[in-house]
Amino acid sequence: MAVSIREGNHDDLAPAVRLLSDVDRTRVLTEAGFRHRLLGSPPEARRTWWAARDGATLVGWAGASVAHETTARGGYVGVTISPSHRGRGLGTALLERARAHLERSPRIHAETFEDGRGFAERHGFRHTSTRRVSGVDPRLVDTSELDTSSVEVVSLLEAGPEQTFAVDAESVLDEPGDEAFDAVEYGQWLRDYWEHPDLDFDVGRGTIVDGTAVAISMVLVDRESRRAFNAYTGTLRAHRSRGLARLAKLGAMRRLAELGVTMVLTENDETNAAMLAINERLGYRPVASRYSYVFDR
């Protein structure tokens, strides 16, 4: 039976999670979280996806969207093909649909691991940066510093959404990347992040100075697989270089260990020396490299 490609629907989401997770073992993804991201995006994100099926089996997936948190409004594409169906032109067919959907975007972003770099470059994408994916077992992390520090560390639920957002919105402006997240609005942030079913704000931690959160660490948790992803850590500019982000991460690690999580993954731009140093001190070790690419029209 020939492989068919069509615009995706809700029935494709569960098999897409399985495909994406099988191809990318560093991904921490649940069906609930995937549905939230795809179905909860605002209209200006123009989020669309395509499914490729060989009979009843999903063998290819592509998504396209516009970055609604940036003023540049760049496009994003992702193409995933089952190893059993590569080399047949399926990835190209999906990519053509995704790029056509983003024809008004002056720049399109994509990410890949080592095995997808040739595909990206053959289709006109150029490499812009590399992110290190690292992992650690939180049960092996020494969190004793929390017991001797005078700094208050609380869950992000205790800190609340407004304080968490304030740290996130300021600190993310300095995050290395091809576009600045300079259009983050509180209402949409609540929907995208605070209401995300996998972002566990009881696990995530904030450090408190003079009654206000000044550093945060947000964590995605898949309790079924006992895996987690340190999705973001940031500190207000006026409070950096004091070890406050490290304390927030330590607090999250302790809570993850209590929950029986066996692996925490994270990723950082290879130029982000400060955060890489923090992670190395926590015991994170490299497990993969993720490469960022852009296509300029």
Q: What is the pLDDT of residues 160-188, one digit of tens each?
A: 999 999 999 999 999 888 889 999 999 99
Phi first, then psi: give them for residue 80, nearest 5 degrees: -130, 130
Helix (H, G, I), strand (E, B) or coil at 137: coil
Q: What is 134-288's CATH superfamily?
A: Gcn5-related N-acetyltransferase (GNAT) (3.40.630.30)
Mean pLDDT of 46-65: 97
- Looking up tokens 């191809």 gives 23
Q: In terms of Cα–Cα distance, which of 181, 134, 177, 132 is closest to 293?
A: 177
Res 1 pLDDT > 70 = no
Q: What are phi and psi of 62, to 5 degrees?
A: -140, 145
Euclidean distance between the first and the last CA atom of the chain, given in angstroms as a whole number? 36
The two structure tokens encoding residue 73: 């409004």
Cβ count within 10 A of residue 178: 15
> What does the mean pLDDT of the chain come to?
96
pLDDT single digits (tens) 255-278:
999 999 999 999 999 999 989 999
Residue 145 has pLDDT above 90, yes or no: yes
Query: Is 80 exceeded by the pLDDT of residue 65?
Result: yes
Place of tokens 């190395």: 280
> 1 versus 271: which is more confidently predicted?
271
Sketch the domain layout of the chain as residue ranges. Answer: 3-105, 134-288
Amino acid identity of residue 120, one-letter, is: A
**Mean pLDDT for the stretch of residues 22-29:** 95
pLDDT at 18: 97
Cα R_g (the chain), whole angstroms: 19
Provide, rounded to the nearest whole percent, the portion of the chain with pLDDT above 70: 100
Residue 218's identity, in one-letter code, is M
Per-residue pLDDT band at 2 (split at 50, 70, 90)? confident
Beta strands 48-54 and 3-7, pairing class: antiparallel
Q: Do domains 3-105 and 134-288 have the same CATH topology?
A: yes
In the CATH scheme, what architecture does the domain 3-105 have? 3-Layer(aba) Sandwich (3.40)
Q: From edge to edge, which strands make up the β-sheet containing 285-296?
A: 3-7, 48-54, 57-66, 75-81, 107-112, 285-296, 126-136, 263-269, 227-235, 212-222, 205-209, 152-155
- pLDDT at res. 139: 98
198-227 per-position pLDDT tens digit? 999 999 999 999 999 999 999 999 999 999
